[in-house]
Amino acid sequence: MILRRFRCWAPIADGVDRLAERHDAGKALSRDEEAKLLAEVSQTGSPALLPLFVVSLDTGSERGPLLTAA
């Protein structure tokens, strides 16, 4: 959008290969499902699990990137 707005896209558009769109992503959680999971995670007593879970909810991140981010 930015490149198009400033008329910089046309000169490079032919050389750009677009990435394939993923269709294998899971479904979004409902608010009720999110609340139930949050309650269960809160009961585990793990000092690391709750923050990790909240970050995953807020970012929509998958398991792999979260575990390798540290």
Question: Average pLDDT by consecutive 10-residue portion of the chain (70 residues)?
Answer: 90 90 79 92 90 85 68
What pLDDT score was predicted for residue 63? Answer: 66
User: What is the rounded CA–CA span in Å between residue 37 and residue 5?
Assistant: 42
What is the pTM for the complete model shown? 0.51
Residue 25 structure tokens: 């992503």
45: left (phi over 0), alpha (psi -120 to 50) or beta: left
What pLDDT score was predicted for residue 70? Answer: 57
